[in-house]
Amino acid sequence: MNQKLIVLSLCTVLLAGCANGASEEETPVLRSVEVAAVGIDSISNAFSYSGKAAAVKEISVVTTVAGKVMSYNFEVGDTVRENQVLFTVDSSNLTDQLRSSEANYKASALSLENAEKIYNNNQVLLEQGIISKNEMDQIKLSYDSAKASMEALDISLDVLKKQIGDCTVTSPMSGVIVQRNVERGSFISQATPAYVIMDLSTIKVEVGVSEQAVNSIHVGDEVQVSMSAVSDTPLIGKVSTISPASGQAGTYSVKVELNNKDGSIKAGMLADVSFTKEKAEAVVVLPRSAVLTKNDETYVYVVEGDIAKKTLVTTGIDTGETIEITSDLPAGTLVVTRGQTYISDGEQVALQDPAASAESSSENTAKGE
């Protein structure tokens, strides 16, 4: 009786084991992967360098006549137009010198007139043999000296008039006053700029570019300039100059100009300039992680039905996040973007919904898992 029970129990166990084995063979566990449909997009490879905004033109106004400041007309931040009067210097001493020189000029003019008459009269006497050539030479010397004296006085008067004119200092260009170093009653000289004026209607940003990148930049290229203090979106600048020689740091100076008619960009603001090294439009672009390289082969896994097939590809522009596929990969093809490193060619896979995966990941993070 007991032997029969034992036999029946063993049979039951064996049958149950066989049933479980059959069940496992019927429902194999497939590796789960995420896929994305191949699409057409644009791609570019850019490099960025930092610099500072500066005025495209800056002038320090220095007086040519030292003296006491009588008046000034502009403060820091004011906009000035070309030829507007900035400040004036006391010209009273120069005016007195001019009056004295003008009086000397009149006296010298009379002397020259008299010397000329004597010269002309004696020229006739010389021709008639009344006076000797030596006497005539002395008369001519006096006449030439009178003419030279008048020429010197002419130059002196011109210099004094110019100096008096220079006592009224005007702006050499239109721009914004960024420094004022004059005060009424103070003494001004050539040692210190009276005013510093910047033309901020156009801003330049100068950056040092590496030798690997400089040959991909050309004068006239449009570039993106990021200035967080001015705009949340990049501004558009244009390459104005490229240095043909490297500096001490081994980089090449590249200047970029930006329109600043609204005055929103201030000199000294930090800027990041992005140059496009390569760019392609309407090409196949995949996430960089989807493309694998092994044993000198570059490939992706294409899913047809539920089978992952290894497909060799050639690539172009690589940004580190996305990559251009230059070989034939039709739009709409499903490519494995996650889990591709664990599958093999021809393997049956289970397609995972990326949205569901992201939601599950979010829930696990919220639970602290």
180 falls within a domain: yes
24 falls within a domain: no
259 falls within a domain: yes
Q: Kindly give the confidence (pLDDT) of every residue in the chain, 369 residues in length, as a single tens digit, with 9 standing for 90 and above.
A: 444 333 333 334 444 444 454 444 555 688 888 998 898 888 888 889 999 999 999 999 999 999 999 999 999 999 999 999 999 999 999 999 999 999 988 988 998 888 889 888 888 888 888 888 888 889 889 889 989 988 999 999 999 999 999 999 999 999 999 999 999 999 999 999 999 999 999 999 999 999 988 998 999 999 999 999 999 999 999 999 999 999 989 999 999 999 998 889 999 999 999 998 888 888 999 999 899 999 889 999 999 988 999 999 999 998 888 899 999 888 888 999 998 888 889 999 988 765 444 443 344 334 444
Are 275 and 302 contained in the same domain?
no
Are 118 and 229 contained in the same domain?
no
Are 313 and 244 contained in the same domain?
no
Are 355 and 286 contained in the same domain?
yes
Residue 300 in contact with residue 336, Cβ under 8 Å?
yes
* Domain total in the chain: 4
Are 37 and 53 contained in the same domain?
no
Are 72 and 179 contained in the same domain?
yes
Last residue within a domain, chosen from 256, 279, 302: 279
User: CATH number of the domain that 161 lies in?
Assistant: 1.10.287.470
User: CATH number of the domain that 230 lies in?
Assistant: 2.40.30.170
Are 140 and 256 contained in the same domain?
no
Are 285 and 357 contained in the same domain?
yes
Residue 227 class from Cβ within 10 Å (0-12 exposed, 13-18 middle, 19+ buried)?
Answer: buried
User: CATH number of the domain that 330 lies in?
Assistant: 2.40.420.20
Are 135 and 114 contained in the same domain?
yes
CB atoms within 10 A of CB 130: 10
Structural domain including 247 reads 48-57+200-279
Q: Say what the pLDDT of residue 115 is.
A: 87
79 falls within a domain: yes
Q: Say what the pLDDT of residue 335 is.
A: 93
Are 79 and 187 contained in the same domain?
yes
12 falls within a domain: no
16 falls within a domain: no
Residue 153 in contact with residue 104, Cβ under 8 Å?
yes
342 falls within a domain: yes
Last residue within a domain, chosen from 251, 279, 307: 279
Are 274 and 285 contained in the same domain?
no
292 falls within a domain: yes
List, in sequence order, every residue forming a beta bridge with 348; answer none if it has no partner. Answer: 307
Q: Answer whether 0.75 is exceeded by the pTM.
A: no
Are 217 and 238 contained in the same domain?
yes
Q: Rounded CA gap, 248 and 29, in Å?
A: 63
